[in-house]
Amino acid sequence: MGNLLKVLTCTELEQGPNFFLDFENAQPTEGERKVWNQLNSVLQDSESILTGLQGYKGAGQEIRDAIQNPNDMSLQERAWNSVCPLVIKLKTFYSFSLRLEEALKSLLKSLTCPPLTPTQHLEREQALAKQFAEILHFTLRFDELKMRIPAIQNDFSYYRRTISRNRINNMNLDIENEVNNEMANRMSLFYAEATPMLKTLSTATTNFVSENKTLPLENTTDCLSTMASVCKVMLETPEYSSRFSSKDTLLFCMRVMVGVIILYDHVHPNGAFTKSSKIDMKGCIKVLKDQPVDNVEGLLNALKFTTKHLNDESTPKNIQSMLQ
């Protein structure tokens, strides 16, 4: 199996095999190369997206000055000139989410198509499994950063109010060539989400299932539940976690585990938290809670606030209480 080693077969929860997957070193085979290249062209831009988001300063002071002095045209112009480049940057982030959505659909198609089972796909297509993990890792990092930057929505709201007012006054609005009204509406919906990238991936996964009606739903959910098991085993077993050369890979595993749980919960009719779930939710939550609080607070919040079925009556009370 190369870098993918079977370490456990668990029947207690009717779960499939759990694996150790070398997230650091898996390389594409010839059979994976075409899809891998397609995804790599997207993923190679992910770090620059995160860097851009980390460096987002906002135009809060300029906007406040303009609002407090509505008759001072120099302050109005200063605020507008500060906001427009930020809106272009926000469009870049949004456009990347669309690329990521299409990339995920291609990846899911490769990892779930017959005649191989999802487990066999993960065994034989380790580099694609690694790319799936990288998509989820990026997504959680992006959303964690976005939640700490309220300036994004403030800036975009000011932009939309101002452009509407300027349009009424027949002012020249070159920026509409970049962000027209339709684009602004879509961006507004995107940034209104607490976790916009996770929402994008959840929608993409749900759409993938609905668009591929001949593909059994279990192919997709089993892929997600197996990935959750992979990460759980690696995190809770020192023998395997010690194989990684970087401690950052452990946080990588945590983000991936949480990401696939959220996707599973959105796609599976009964969600991830029921007793019949193929994901050991108690074990996954325990693994997270055994980590330093600073590393997992955002991930636990993601489980609390972005899953669909946590508060369903069918969710065991002990699992709900673990996430309180």
Give kind and range of the element (H or E) at residue 320: helix 317-322
Please list, in sequence order, all residues whose beta carbon lies within 8 angstroms of the beta carbon of residue 50, skipping any fewer than 6 positions away. 138, 141, 142, 145
Please list, in sequence order, all residues whose beta carbon lies within 8 angstroms of the beta carbon of residue 106, skipping any fewer than 6 positions away. 35, 38, 39
Q: Which sequence spans correspond to the domains of the chain?
A: 22-193, 216-323
Residue 13 confidence (pLDDT): 35
Residue 323 confidence (pLDDT): 83
Up-side HSE of residue 69: CA atoms within 13 Å toward CB? Answer: 14
Task: Enter the tokens of residue 72.
Answer: 């001072």
Please list, in sequence order, all residues whose beta carbon lies within 8 angstroms of the beta carbon of residue 120, skipping any fewer than 6 positions away. none
Dist CA 94 CA 110 (whole Å): 25
Contacts 24+ apart (CB under 8 A), 245-249: 245/24, 246/24, 249/23, 249/24
Dist CA 41 CA 191 (whole Å): 24
Dist CA 87 CA 78 (whole Å): 15
pTM of the model: 0.88
Residue 322 confidence (pLDDT): 85
Residue 85 confidence (pLDDT): 94
Dist CA 30 CA 124 (whole Å): 11
DSSP notation for 178-211 = TS-HHHHHHHHHHHHSSSHHHHHHHHHHHHHHHH
**Coil, strand or helix at 36:** helix
Place of tokens 């668009």: 211
Residue 2 confidence (pLDDT): 44
Weakly modelled stretches of the chain, pLDDT under 50: 1-17, 168, 172
Residue 82 confidence (pLDDT): 95
